[in-house]
C-alpha cells in the first residue's frame, strides 16, 4: 500500500485561484499540496487561452494566460508547494474534526486538516472521437493521455488529431515506437509550425506514416487493439496497431466533485462569503466552482476568496494560536517567509 501523504491543506485544482491560495496560506505558515488533472498548472488560463491577453488583473495592465500562470508560480515559489499533476481527485471523505482523507486516480492518499476545492469549471476531460465501439478499448489500448512514455516502447501506435497534443506526442513517441502512424482528417495542422515541419520531415524520411482520413472502425478483442480502419479520400486502409492515442481536445465536466457529499446548487458549491467554507467545516470552495450572491467568475474575485479562506483555514491548522493581521510591506516576519528580509 502507498504511504499516506500528510500535510495541512490539499488544494484541488492548480488554476490561477488554486495557485494564489498557496501564497495566502503560505504567509500564514500553512503548507499545501495541489492536485490537478492537467499535466501543467494554470487551469483555464494555461489550457484554454495561454496566448490571449487578460486586461483585468489588478496591477497588471496586460498579461497573457500563460504569463499569469508563470507569474503566480514565481510568486508562490518561496512556499515550495508540492504538485501532483496529471491526477484527478476522486474521493474526499471527512474522517475527523476536521481531518479529511483524499484519494486520487493515481492511487495516492492524503490526510489533511483542510481541503480547498479550486476546481473551476470542473475537470478537463478528453473528447471521445466518434468511433463506434471504442469504449471497451479505452484505458487498455486506447489512451487519451500519456502517463508513461515507456509503456509505448516497441509498439505500433496510431496517433489521431491535428493540434499541438497530437503533434507533440507524435514527435515524442516516434523514436520509441515500433512504427507510428499519425491520422488527421485534413492535410492542415493547427499545431505549432515547427512541430508540423518536424513531423513532415520524419514522414519524408520514411520514419513514420501520415494518413489523411478518419479512423472509422477498430478491430481487436478483450480491449486489445489489433488494427484500425482508416477511411481516406480513395479507400479504407487497415492499419495494424497495438495502441491508439486520440487527441481531440478537452471539454469541462463537473466530474467527481458532485459525489463528495457537499451541498451543491446548479453544479456549483454555495459558500459562506466570510470564510468561503462549504456546508462541511474545514472544506472550502474558491474560484469559479463556488456560488454566492453577487458572484462573478473573475480571477480577481478568486484571489480575494483565497485570502479570506486562508484566515479561516489557519484556525483549523493552528487551533491554539491567535492570528495577527500583517502587511507584507511592513512585516519582517512575512518578508522572511518570502525570502526578501
Ligand atoms: C477564453 C476565456 C477568457 C477568459 N478571460 C478572462 C479575463 O479576461 N479575466 C478574468 O478574470 N477571467 C477570465 N476568464 C475566466 C477565468 O479563466 C476563470 O475565472 C479562472 O480560470 C478560474 O480559475 P480557477 O482556478 O477557479 O479555475 P480553473 O482555471 O478552471 O482551474 C481549475 C483546475 O481544477 C482542475 N480540477 C478540476 N476538478 C479536479 C479534480 N477532481 N481533481 C484534480 N483537478 C481538478 C482542473 O483540471 C483545472 O486545471 C476567461 C475564461 C475563458 C475560457
* Three state DSSP letters for the chain: CCCEEEEEEEEECCCHHHHHHHHHHHHCCCCEEEEECCCCCCHHHHHCCCCCEECCECCECCEEHHHHHHHHHHHHHHHCCEEEECCCEEEEEEEECCEEEEEECCCCEEEEEEEEECCCCCEEEECCCCCCCCHHHECCCECCCCCCHHHHCCCEEEEECCCHHHHHHHHHHCCCCCEEEEEECCCCCCCCHHHHHHHHHHHHCCCCEEEEEEEEEEEEECCEEEEEEEEECCCEEEEECCEEEECCCEEEECHHHHHCCCCCECCEEECECCCCECCCCCEEECHHHEECCCCCCCHHHHHHHHHHHHHHHHHHHCCCCCCCCCCCCCCHHHHHHCCCC
Please give the average per-residue pLDDT across 262-290, as a whole number: 97
Task: Give the C-alpha separation, 250 to 260, whole Å.
Answer: 23
Other CB atoms within 10 A of residue 36 CB: 29
Which of 324, 325, 313 has its CA nearest to residue 30? 313
Q: What is the pLDDT of residue 208?
A: 98
The mean per-residue pLDDT over the stretch 66-79 comes to: 98
Work out the percent of the chain whose per-residue pLDDT is above 70: 100
The answer to whether the CB of 268 is under 6 A from ligand 1 is: no
Ligand 1 within 6 A of 162 CB?
A: no
Q: Mean pLDDT over all residues of the chain?
A: 95
Ligand 1 within 6 A of 255 CB?
yes
Confidence of residue 252 (pLDDT cuts 50, 70, 90): confident
Distance 305 CA to ligand 1 centre (A): 14
Confidence at 238, pLDDT banded by 50, 70, 90? very high
Q: Is the dihedral of CA 194, 181, 131, 133 positive or negative?
A: negative
CA–CA separation, 210 and 198 (whole Å)? 12
pLDDT band at 1 (very low <50, low <70, confident <90, very high): low
What pLDDT digit, counting tens, does each position of 40-49 carry? 999 999 988 8
Q: Are 81 and 104 in contact (CB under 8 A)?
A: no
Atom of ligand 1 nearest to the CA of 90: 41
From the CA of 86, how far away is ligand 1's center (Å)?
Answer: 16
Closest-lying ligand 1 atom to the alpha carbon of residue 89: 42
Atom of ligand 1 nearest to the CA of 35: 43
Distance CA 207, CA 281 (A): 58
Q: At what angle do helices 164-173 and 193-204 cross, to 10 degrees?
A: 40
pLDDT over threshold 80, residue 179: yes
Total-model pTM: 0.81
What is the number of the ligand 1 atom nearest to the C-alpha of 104? 42
Q: In this structure, which residue's CA is closest to atom 3 in ligand 1?
A: 49
Asked whether 20 and 32 are in contact (CB, 8 A), the reply is: no
In tens, the pLDDT along 100-109 reads 999 999 999 9
How many whole angstroms separate alpha carbon 42 and alpha carbon 48? 10
Q: In this predicted structure, what is the pLDDT of residue 191?
A: 87
Q: Which of 44, 64, 251 to mutate to test the pocket of ligand 1 (most atoms within 8 A of CB)?
A: 44
User: Atom 49 in ligand 1: which residue has the minimum CA distance?
Assistant: 43
At residue 31, the pLDDT reads 98
For ligand 1, whether the C-beta of 16 sits within 6 Å is yes
Residue 120 CA to ligand 1 centre (angstroms): 5
173 lines ligand 1 (CB under 6 A): no
Summarize the confidence of residues 292-309 as an average pLDDT: 98
Name the burial class of residue 163, with classes exposed (0-12), middle (13-18) and buried (19+) by CB atoms within 10 angstroms of its CB.
middle
232 C-alpha to ligand 1 centroid (Å): 38
Higher pLDDT, 273 or 139: 273
Q: Which residues contact 336 (CB under 8 A, 6 or more apart)?
A: none
CA 335 remoteness from chain centre: 31
- Torsions phi, psi for 18 (to 5 deg): -60, -40
Is 271 touching ligand 1 by the criterion CB < 6 Å?
no
Checking if the pLDDT of 54 tops 70, the result is yes
Rounded to the nearest angstrom, the distance between the alpha carbon of 10 and the centre of ligand 1 is: 18
For ligand 1, whether the C-beta of 158 sits within 6 Å is: no
For the segment 193-215, what is each residue's pLDDT rounded down to a tens digit? 999 999 999 999 999 999 999 99
Say which range, 63-72, 122-131, 193-202, 232-241, has the weakest mean pLDDT: 122-131
Amino acid at each position: 500500500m502507498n504511504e499516506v501523504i500528510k500535510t495541512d491543506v490539499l488544494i484541488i485544482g492548480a488554476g490561477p485561484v488554486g495557485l494564489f491560495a498557496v501564497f495566502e496560506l503560505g504567509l500564514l505558515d500553512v503548507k499545501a499540496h495541489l492536485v490537478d488533472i492537467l499535466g501543467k498548472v494554470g487551469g483555464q488560463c494555461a489550457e484554454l487561452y495561454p496566448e490571449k491577453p487578460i486586461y483585468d488583473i489588478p496591477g497588471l495592465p496586460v498579461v497573457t494566460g500563460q504569463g499569469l500562470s508563470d507569474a503566480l508560480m514565481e510568486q508562490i515559489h518561496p512556499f515550495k508547494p508540492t504538485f501532483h499533476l496529471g491526477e484527478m481527485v476522486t474521493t474526499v471523505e471527512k474522517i475527523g474534526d476536521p481531518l479529511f482523507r483524499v484519494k486520487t486516480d493515481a492511487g495516492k492518499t492524503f490526510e489533511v486538516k483542510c481541503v480547498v476545492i479550486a476546481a473551476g469549471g470542473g475537470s478537463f476531460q478528453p473528447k471521445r472521437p466518434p468511433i463506434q465501439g471504442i469504449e471497451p478499448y479505452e484505458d487498455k489500448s486506447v489512451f487519451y493521455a500519456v502517463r508513461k512514455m515507456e509503456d509505448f516502447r516497441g509498439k505500433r501506435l496510431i496517433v489521431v488529431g491535428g493540434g499541438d497534443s497530437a503533434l507533440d506526442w507524435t514527435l515524442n513517441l516516434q523514436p520509441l515506437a515500433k512504427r507510428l502512424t499519425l491520422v488527421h482528417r485534413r492535410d492542415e495542422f493547427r499545431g505549432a509550425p515547427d512541430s508540423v515541419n518536424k513531423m513532415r520531415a520524419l514522414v519524408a524520411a520514411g520514419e513514420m506514416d501520415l494518413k489523411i482520413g478518419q479512423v472509422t472502425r477498430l478491430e481487436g478483442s478483450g480491449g486489445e487493439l489489433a488494427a484500425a480502419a482508416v477511411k481516406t479520400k480513395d479507400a479504407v486502409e487497415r492499419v495494424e496497431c497495438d495502441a491508439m492515442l486520440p487527441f481531440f481536445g478537452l471539454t469541462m465536466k463537473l466530474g467527481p466533485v458532485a459525489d463528495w457529499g457537499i451541498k451543491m446548487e446548479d453544479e456549483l458549491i454555495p459558500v459562506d462569503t466570510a470564510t468561503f467554507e462549504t456546508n462541511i467545516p474545514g472544506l472550502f470552495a474558491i474560484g469559479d466552482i463556488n456560488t454566492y450572491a453577487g458572484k462573478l467568475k473573475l480571477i480577481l474575485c478568486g484571489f480575494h476568496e483565497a485570502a479570506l479562506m486562508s484566515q479561516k483555514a489557519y484556525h483549523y491548522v493552528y487551533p491554539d494560536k491567535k492570528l495577527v493581521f500583517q502587511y507584507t510591506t511592513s512585516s519582517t516576519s512575512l518578508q522572511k517567509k518570502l525570502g526578501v528580509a
